């Protein structure tokens, strides 16, 4: 379970205080995948990072009683001067898993051939995204946190491999995905919410959330 209890979070931009959440309380139960619609710049990444424990609220409490993934695309645990092979083995040890298995799994999903044995620092943005996603899929979580969907890549093989594995993972897991596009959410979620002016408006269906989001966008 992921639960926010009277959580507040804000940042000082240099000219004004930007409110991300204002005394927000909500719960995401296992099996109830949630999509959150939010405009760019409203705090999508911040709310996902708080769910993962990467950022702390200013006030209130975030409770996590399940295995929560790091956000898709998060590279905080990856060391640029090390190869993908070395990084994958390091991550495996952090989670108490078999390094040989995690390296082999990530190598297969990435499909970046000899680059897997080169320092991550020389990778293109697309290659780094593919490697981060492969690590996310290699580990077993109860909740998967996704910020804006799958990495943008033109590699059909990677899209097919990663998409297939993600669908398998989500058969027994819960996903929380934030995006500024409803089309991204409908692939994964039925329940949805809208993040607006520091409040999270929860809805039973994506269509209901989309109606409010579209109305606000027009306004």
Contact 212, 195 (CB under 8 A): no
Lowest mean pLDDT among 129-138, 181-190, 195-204: 181-190
**Calpha distance 42→165 (Å, rounded):** 31
pTM of the model: 0.83
User: Would you state the torsion angle of the CA atoms of residues 96, 150, 209, 207, taken in this order, to the nearest 10 degrees?
Assistant: -120
The C-alpha atoms of residue 62 and residue 3 are separated, in whole angstroms, by 6
Q: How far apart are CA 6 and CA 95, in angstroms?
A: 31
Which residue has tokens 């390296």? 103
Calculated CA dihedral for residues 31, 105, 157, 159, nearest 10 degrees: 30
Percent of residues, the chain, with pLDDT higher than 70? 94
pLDDT in tens, 176-192: 999 888 887 887 787 89
Neighbours of 105 (CB within 10 A): 20
């Amino acid at each position: 379970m992921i639960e926010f209890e009277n959580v507040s979070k804000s940042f000082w931009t240099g000219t004004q205080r930007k409110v991300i959440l204002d005394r927000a309380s909500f719960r995401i139960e296992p099996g109830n995948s949630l999509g959150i619609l939010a405009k760019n710049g409203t705090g999508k990444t911040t709310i996902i990072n708080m769910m993962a424990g990467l950022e702390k609220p200013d006030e209130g409490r975030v409770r996590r009683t399940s295995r929560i993934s790091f956000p898709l695309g998060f590279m905080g645990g990856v060391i640029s001067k090390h190869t993908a092979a070395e990084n994958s083995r390091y991550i495996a040890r952090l989670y108490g898993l078999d390094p040989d298995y995690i390296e082999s799994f990530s190598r297969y999903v990435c499909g970046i051939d000899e680059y897997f044995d080169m320092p991550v620092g020389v990778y293109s943005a697309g290659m780094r995204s593919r490697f981060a996603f492969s690590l996310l899929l290699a580990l077993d979580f109860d909740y998967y946190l996704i910020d804006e969907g799958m990495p943008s890549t033109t590699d059909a093989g990677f899209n097919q491999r990663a998409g297939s594995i993600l669908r398998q993972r989500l058969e027994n897991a819960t996903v929380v995905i934030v995006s500024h596009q409803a089309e991204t959410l409908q692939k994964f979620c039925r329940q949805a919410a809208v993040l607006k002016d520091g409040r999270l408006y929860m809805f039973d269906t994506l269509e209901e959330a989309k109606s409010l989001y579209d109305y606000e966008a027009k306004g």
